[in-house]
Chain A
Amino acid sequence: AQSVSQHNHHVILSEAASLELGCNYSYGGTVNLFWYVQYPGQHLQLLLKYFSGDPLVKGIKGFEAEFIKSKFSFNLRKPSVQWSDTAEYFCAVNRANAGGTSYGKLTFGQGTILTVHP
C-alpha cells in the first residue's frame, strides 16, 4: 500500500531560522505531490504542488519544495521562518495513472507541527 512518511512530529524553531521538513513516499509510479498547511483551528490550505517538470517548486508565503525522484522525497523548505508560520504541515501524495488521473484521492503523512518562537 502507498504510504507517506514525515520525518519529524514536532519542530521548534526561532524566528529567522531555516526550515526543512522531510517527506518520503513509497509508491514508485506516477505521483502528484502536495504540501498543505493547517493553522490552528482552520482547514487545510495548499502551500505548493508538484505534478511534473522542474523538481524545485515554489509555493505561497516563501515556501519551496524539491522533488527527488530517486529518493522518493519531497522535502519542504523555507529560508527564514516567521512566528506566523506556526502551524501543522502535511505532505500528501496521490497516485496517478499514465494520463495523470488520480481521482483526487490523497494519502497523507502524519503531519509535522511547527512551532516558531518570536
Chain B
Amino acid sequence: NAGVTQTPKFQVLKTGQSMTLQCAQDMNHEYMSWYRQDPGMGLRLIHYSVGAGITDQGEVPNGYNVSRSTTEDFPLRLLSAAPSQTSVYFCASSYHLRDRGRRNTEAFFGQGTRLTVV
C-alpha cells in the first residue's frame, strides 16, 4: 500500500492563479481531511469529508474548495491564490479502530505540499 499520496510536493503560484492539490489514499478509509501548517500555529483543519459525496468545512475554509467523488481521492482547490495561502498542506485519511468497544479514529498523513504564492 502507498498510504496517502499527495502531489505535487512543491508549487509556486502567482497571486490570482488557480490550482488543485491532489490527495489519494489506497487504504479504503472513510474519512479524509486537509490541513495547513504554518509556523507557530500547528496544523489547522481546512476541509474534511466523511465519505464520497460528503464534505464539510473545518477551521480555516475560506479560499479553498473540495469535493469527494470517490473514496480514494480528495482534491483541494485554490480558485484564486493569495500570498496568505503560502503554507505547507497535508492531507490525511482516517479509519475506525475498535478499542474496548469504542470506535475510534486514527489519522495517516501524506508527505505534504509546500505551496508558495508570490
- Taking the complex as formed, is B53 at the interface, i.e. its CB lies under 8 A from any CB of chain A? no
Q: Which of A41-69 contact B (CB under 8 A)?
A: 42-46, 49, 51-53
What's the least CB distance linking B53 to chain A, in Å?
A: 15
Q: Which of A66-118 contact B (CB under 8 A)?
A: 90, 92, 94, 96, 99-111
Residues of A within 8 A of B27 (CB): none
Contact check, A99 vs B109: say whether CB atoms are below 8 A apart.
no
Given A108-B42, A110-B41, A110-B42, does the pair A103, B111 have CB atoms closer than 8 Å? no
Residues of B within 8 A of A7 (CB): none
- Residues of B in contact (CB 8 Å), total 33
Contact check, A52 vs B100: say whether CB atoms are below 8 A apart.
yes
Contact check, B42 vs A90: say whether CB atoms are below 8 A apart.
yes
Residues of A within 8 A of B106 (CB): 34, 46, 49, 104
Interface of A is mostly: loop
Contact check, B33 vs A105: say whether CB atoms are below 8 A apart.
yes
Contact check, B105 vs A43: say whether CB atoms are below 8 A apart.
no
Residues of B within 8 A of A101 (CB): 96, 103, 105
Q: Which of B84-118 contact A (CB under 8 A)?
A: 90, 92-94, 96-97, 99-100, 102-112
Which A residues form the contact surface with B (CB < 8 A)? 4, 6, 9, 32, 34, 36, 42-46, 49, 51-53, 90, 92, 94, 96, 99-111
